[in-house]
Amino acid sequence: MLYWVGTAAFALAILISVSLHELGHMITAKRFGMKVTKYFVGFGPTIFSFKRGETEYGLKAIPLGGFCKIVGMTPQDDDVEEQDQHRAMWRYPVWKRTVVMSAGSITHFALAIVATWFAAVFVGLPNPDLPKTPAEDRAIPAKISVAECVQVVLSSRQGCAPTDPRAPAAAAGLKSGDLITSVGGQPIQNYGQLTDTIRSLPAGAVDFGYTRDGVAGTAKVTLIAAQRPPLDDPDGEVKQVAVAGVGPRLDMPALVTYGPVEGIGVTFDYGWSMVKASFAAMKRIPEKIPALWNSITGDERDPDTPISVVGASRLGGEAIEKGVPEIFLMIFISLNVFIGLFNLLPLLPVDGGHIAIAWYERARSWVYARLKKPDPGRVDYYKLMPLTYAVILIGGAFTLLTITADVVNPISIFSR
């Protein structure tokens, strides 16, 4: 029951954020004097609507977003009545059109900031002292967490299968929290040295020196061979190496809360990290498409593949069901940051495409004026329609692919 409540709550949160995106367009357009004729939540058949002034407001049957209609967004629009020609959006100064078209993304960023501050003060944000890079991860003390089993062939599957052998460290009596001091007689100073030493050995029995509750001990661990990528390159070539079934254990909280004032600075620091992560995710999208397709045709789902709103809602539901609301918030924050940035890409039909054209027109007019040539006028949007349709087609196909993968082979929180 909690799963479905959480899923519905996350879907509603996204619907509200997208509706506020459109509200940002409408409010700024009205403030500048542009004419807005429609503002609707949802698509498809109208459930109800009412008119206030010159704008019709309403709710439609398919709750997958919303829209507002600003008259005369391009010179080619034929929806501008004679008496409204001076209010057509394309006639307004470039900076005003930029504000209107970027207001949707700004709304997403504002929602992310508010949600991040709330998380910082009341729920907690990821501990900044936790290792964030492979180098930092390697430098921590060699205190271990012990797995129950080992996947000989690495996959994104979680939990132990009947065919998975018991982890060698567990079979030897090592416990989570033990500090490894030596392997095969070689002193161990940090976790990176521990993993390097294990992988340098052949499969077979080796002595592990450890300290547990201040008491030193020795365990004979029988290392087994398993397929693993390089430690510093998770996407690198998989090779057969020796493993013990251990991971790093950090004696520090995963989440940290802050005071209301301190939380402001932390909010913007975390927000910037989300911006960088979103750009990195965008760059990886093309290389993840084959993995998405393969997950539909029978392969295991790569937890690092993109997700749709459907997948995000499922993760939100799972977060509530498992009692980890902080993950619900983190997904909501990251999704709003991603959508806000994506909408600013200089491609039609997203908002960034209209902004790019407006500034291109302005720059071109400035250059022609300096060359004492006649103003070339406005961009003909009809000439850009083939490119626009290509973007829509690719975007639609990608959306369909992610939705299908999220239905057929969804990502779980605990596969991440």
Structure tokens given for 74: 């391009």
Main-chain dihedrals φ then ψ at residue 70, nearest 5 degrees:
-100, 125
3-class DSSP assignment, residue 76: coil
Contact predicate 346/352, CB 8 Å: yes
CA distance 23 to 310: 23
Considering 22, 56, 148, 318, which one is annotated as catalytic?
22
Q: Count the Cβ atoms, other than its own, within 10 Å of residue 177.
A: 15
Catalytic residue list contains 81 = no
Residue 351 CA, chain-centre distance (Å), reads 20
3-state SS, residue 252 = coil
281, 338 contact by CB (below 8 A): yes
Strand partners, 180: 210
How far, in Å, CA of 21 to CA of 105, rounded? Answer: 7
Q: What SS3 string covers 165-208? A: CECHHHHCCCCCCCEEEEECCEECCCHHHHHHHHHHCCCEEEEE
Answer yes or no: are the C-beta atoms of 224 and 165 closer than 8 Å. yes
Contact indicator for 140, 361 with CB cutoff of 8 Å: no
Annotated active-site positions, please? 22
